[in-house]
Structure 1
Amino acid sequence: MRRIYFLVPDIPTTKRIVDELLLSRIEEKHIHVVARRGTELEDLPEANLLQKTDFIPAVERGLAVGGTAGALAGLVAVVLPPASTVIAGGIVLGSALAGAGVGAWAGSLIGVSTASSRIKQFEQAIEAGQLLVLADVPKGRVEEIEARIKNHLPTIEIEGTEPKQPAFP
């Protein structure tokens, strides 16, 4: 999946873009709208915490850093006597898993409180009243979807695509 970003001037145009995405067989759960706080989005699909924050990248970083730190701590514990070879593998694995768990937890706490670095680029436009539409589309259909939107709404600016999007949010 790839995430396409559209900066849209108003609610009626946003509705037309969402309708076009739905007609293009992009499910509503893959369409997200970010607006200035207090803006009534009516029936538009509002972006949730996962789209508005750096939650997922922070959890990924926490898993990596915590798992590495836990594995190193396990290796240090193995070097200290009287660890046997059988117990040593369990210590390394257990400490790596514990480290990954703590890292993911800490990362999630940091990520949920940090605004999305990608959305920050559009902060001024959003505060000025524009809306940001995020659409998660299959990798092979990005150009087709962009062309379809531009064909019906030529004034819409496509602000780019994000190369990697997790499948679950």
Structure 2
Amino acid sequence: MRTIYFLVPDIDTTHKIVDELRAEGIPERHIHVLAKRDTPLEDMPEASLLQKTDFIPALERGALLGGTGGLLAGLAGLAFSGFVIAGGAILGAIMAGATIGSLGGGLMGMNVGNTKLKQFEEAIEKGELLVLIDIPRERIEDIKKKILKHHPTAEFEGMEPILPSGY
């Protein structure tokens, strides 16, 4: 899955795009609309904390750093305790480090706005809306062409890297 971005000039166009995406079979949980505070989105799906913050990237970084720290702690423990309990101790330290790191990283990421969305802040404050669509890679071009064909005022703003598969 990838997230593609469209900057849309008004709420009416955004509403039409969301309706077309639903008609294309894109589940509502994969459509996210980000607008200026107090903009009535009616029945359009509003972007959640996962889209508005750096929670997922921070979670991934925390797991990587925590797992690495756990590995180093496990190896240090191994140097002091000998090889008898090596496998279990290292595995336990890696798992504990990854768990603590991902929880800490995720919590810190929730307090940080999505760095990818910062470039759209000014446009959103002017009243434009940002539509984020999570779709499989093979549908990106088709959906992009349909939106731009039916709504020439919408601007394609790029795509985000791969999302976790269970998302």
User: Under TM normalisation by the shorter chain, which class is it?
Assistant: over 0.9
* Corresponding pairs, count: 167
> Any unmatched runs of 5+ in structure 1?
none
What is aligned with 2:34?
Answer: 34
Contact conserved, 2:8 with 2:153, CA < 8 A, in 1? no
Take 1:74 and 1:20, find their aligned partners in 2: how far apart are those partners?
53
SS of residue matched to 1:85: coil
Letter in 2 for 1:52: K
Ranges in structure 2 where 5+ consecutive residues have no aligned partner:
none
What letter matches 1:148 in structure 2?
A: K
Relative to the length of structure 1, the TM-score reads 0.95
Matched residue type, 1:147: K
- How big is the alpha-carbon RMSD for the aligned residues of Structure 1 and Structure 2? 1.1
Partner of 1:9: 9
Alignment of 1:24 with 2:37, yes or no, is no
1:58-117 Cα deviation digits (max 9, x unpaired): 00000000010011011011111xx24231221111111111111011101111111111
Matching residue of 2:70: 70
> Separation in 2 of the partners of 1:18 and 1:152?
12
1:56 aligns with 2:56: yes
Shift of 1:167: 2.8
Give % identity.
Answer: 56
2-structure distance, mates of 1:167, 1:16: 28
SS at match of 1:129: coil
SS of the residue aligned with 1:38? coil
Question: Moved runs in structure 1, 4+ residues, more than 4 A?
Answer: none
